[in-house]
Amino acid sequence: MSNDTSPGTSSVDNKSSDPSYGVPGHSHSDKDLLKLSLGAIGIVFGDIGTSPLYALKECFKGHHQLPVDDFHIYGLVSLIFWTMGLVVTVKYVMFIMKADNKGEGGSMSLLSLIIRGANPKLSRWLIVLGVFATALFYGDSMITPAMSVLSAVEGLTVIEPSFDSWVPPVSVVILIGLFCIQARGTESVGRLFGPIMLVYFATLAILGAFNIITRSPAILLALNPYYAIHFFVSDPLQGFWALGSVVLSVTGAEALYADMGHFGRQPISLGWYWVVFPALTLNYLGQCALLSADHEAIANPFYFLAPDFLRVPLIILATFAAVIASQAVITGAFSVTQQAIQLGYIPRLRVNHTSASTVGQIYIPSVNWVLMFMVMVLIAMFKNSTNLANAYGIAVTGTMFITSCMMGVLVHRVWHWKAWQSIPLVSFFLLIDGAFFLSNVTKIPEGGWFPLLVGFVVFTMLMTWSRGRHLMAERMRQVAMPIQLFIRSAAASAVRIPGTAIFLTPEDDGVPHALLHNLKHNKILHERVILLTVKIEDVPYVDPHYRASMSSLEDGFYRVIVRYGFMEEPDVPLALNKIEQSGPMLRMDDTSFFISRQTLIPSTHTSMAIWREKLFAWMLRNSESATEFFKLPSNRVVELGSQIELVGNNGK
């Protein structure tokens, strides 16, 4: 196994101004809009679609319990409605989703989009914010499956209270089965997601409308923001505490932006405006109409919406929806991890492709099993959805607040809005997201510490890996020999043998360590020597026509740069086969790939703390083989080891 950082890989090389960069690798212009909207309903809205299972119940029975009376019922449903309207509709659908990075969305895409042209000091802070938002996502991806499935299975207690002890083990069995099938891919099963979720949202709407009509039509008055404002004015402290549970109604809002590249902005917007938002609104209103007529229904207002004979089918349907929501967030974790690997924040991990026709269908074993283990830990620790809700909101609100901060930079630096336009809008969203976040801070002792702990651990690892790679590349540049000097001094005197040697190097200048070691130990050079650098650009996709560039040096030496977007899968042999300017066409059976394998030597003079240096060394040892990552033919790869010491300015 190769232990180097990323031999032959250079992280972000900003050439986005070149028209050849950032051409999406897929387009939806020729696909049917309704079909894409159905797919978006099945994948994008799974998380937010399962919020009615627990959001309203937690407002009354959660961390800060509220009296079940008409004043609080009307105030809370008004808060939920306007939270969905302002956060999801206005912030994400109307503004954030316009910030597409060549068609792609998500924290990493937004970060890559807005740091272009930013001054170095601002870029550093933006990178810290973007990476921490990514780290919080991993906490959310652990909590969402546990929360969704527990809430769905808790419907069993509505049928028979004695089933309460069965909820955790049944949830565990369902989730273990879900994680175990990830390796097989979800392409075939995924075709059912859209129709199932469409039936689920239709059920939400029908049950909600039925209870509004039969229980309390007056609940429709709660759509007036007066009730939300009156709730806050009459009892500001309780209103502030309630925000910690109200925000559960918009968990999954980030998925609209993160999955934009798969479906496009228009299909997601269409699904939200015409299906999801109306169905959620009707269901929350229906639950509140039920509570207004029967306060005892607060035990589980979602399942009490249905008549007795429909509760078992509703439990089954809700469980399917919870599994789909969990599947979406697990797939999202795979996608985010792949982006972070490409951008240089996570070591190379084994990435398996589960579909021959769909590029985005990937499976990362290490991420899958870590997520499964942590989900099992969560269920064992918290046991029910009410306890787990205390841990849920902090990751969601933290990510939303960071997105609003990045949105401020976006509208000012990328969209070039005037100050009088951008400051009021951004301040408004920062005020909303800040209030939600601060309300959830009160839950830290009761479970909110979990996603924060996960976030800080992941953030530390991501930043340590990025910093370590930077220091290692810097050190290698310091000791590198200029390539022209090497050719003049060594090429003429060395024995040349037939064939092609390709040396992977992260730098596009200097002599690779593997080349120096090969000459030192074997005393030979191949008749054709290619110095290959793979660069990951800060755009999702690179036009295949501009994939590779080649420059001829002299005496049979060539410099080749292969470029990929951070959403693409590197395939070095495929890219090399398209190069025709370096002499005869490359034949894999006549080509050898040389990879340098670095071993880290501990140093007291590094610019990282010693514990971070040890962490980086551990991550370095356990990174995935460059041979598999770049799809190199394993029988044509030669690995040459070297030792390197991280030396830099003193500091942490």
Say if residue 379 is in the same domain as residue 478: no
- Domain termination site, one of 359, 388, 417: 388
- Write the pLDDT tens digit of every residue in 121-154: 777 788 888 889 889 889 888 999 999 999 999 9
Say if residue 475 is in the same domain as residue 332: no
Say if residue 510 is in the same domain as residue 631: yes
Q: Is residue 592 part of a domain?
A: yes
- Domain termination site, one of 362, 388, 414: 388
- Domain termination site, one of 357, 388, 419: 388
Distance (Å, whole) CA 258 – CA 255: 5
User: Across-strand partners of 40?
Assistant: none
Q: How confident is the model at residue 567 (pLDDT cuts 50, 70, 90)?
A: confident
**Least confident window among 86-100, 183-197, 205-219, 442-456:** 183-197
596, two tokens: 């340098």
CATH number at residue 250: 1.20.1740.10
- Give me the pLDDT at residue 176, please: 95
Q: Which residues constitute the domain of residue 273?
A: 36-388
Q: Is residue 221 part of a domain?
A: yes
299 pLDDT higher than 60? yes
Q: Is residue 31 part of a domain?
A: no
Say if residue 293 is in the same domain as residue 153: yes
- Write the pLDDT tens digit of every residue in 591-632: 889 887 777 776 666 677 888 888 988 888 888 888 888 888
> Does residue 283 or residue 521 have the better pLDDT?
283
Say if residue 144 is in the same domain as residue 264: yes
Burial zone of 236 (CB within 10 Å; 0-12 exposed, 13-18 middle, 19+ buried): exposed
- Give me the pLDDT at residue 603, please: 67
> Does residue 376 or residue 265 have the better pLDDT?
376
13 pLDDT higher than 60? no
For residue 513, give the 3-state DSSP assignment. Answer: helix
- Write the pLDDT tens digit of every residue in 25-44: 444 444 468 888 888 888 88
Say if residue 381 is in the same domain as residue 502: no
- Give me the pLDDT at residue 16, please: 40
194 pLDDT higher than 90? no
- Give me the pLDDT at residue 602, please: 65
Say if residue 482 is in the same domain as residue 378: no
Distance (Å, whole) CA 547 – CA 45: 35
Q: Is residue 397 part of a domain?
A: no
Say if residue 572 is in the same domain as residue 480: yes
Say if residue 380 is in the same domain as residue 487: no
Q: Is residue 112 part of a domain?
A: yes
What's the mean pLDDT when you consider all of the chain?
84
User: Across-strand partners of 9?
Assistant: 534
- Give me the pLDDT at residue 166, please: 93
- Give me the pLDDT at residue 581, please: 60
Give the number of domains in the chain: 2
- Write the pLDDT tens digit of every residue in 411-442: 887 788 888 888 998 999 999 999 999 999 98
Q: Is residue 310 part of a domain?
A: yes
Distance (Å, whole) CA 574 – CA 593: 14
3-state secondary structure 431-449: HHHHHHHHHHHCCHHHCCH
Q: What is the mean pLDDT of residues 365-391?
A: 92
- Give me the pLDDT at residue 640, please: 74
Q: Is residue 166 part of a domain?
A: yes
Distance (Å, whole) CA 363 – CA 354: 7
Q: Is residue 571 part of a domain?
A: yes
Q: How confident is the model at residue 520 (pLDDT cuts 50, 70, 90)?
A: confident
User: Across-strand partners of 14?
Assistant: none
23 pLDDT higher than 60? no
Q: What is the mean pLDDT of residues 242-247?
A: 91
Ramachandran angles phi, psi of 100, nearest 5°:
-90, 135
Distance (Å, whole) CA 243 – CA 227: 15
- Write the pLDDT tens digit of every residue in 171-190: 999 999 999 988 877 666 66
At 102, the amino acid letter reads K
Say if residue 156 is in the same domain as residue 298: yes
Say if residue 384 is in the same domain as residue 477: no
Say if residue 382 is in the same domain as residue 530: no
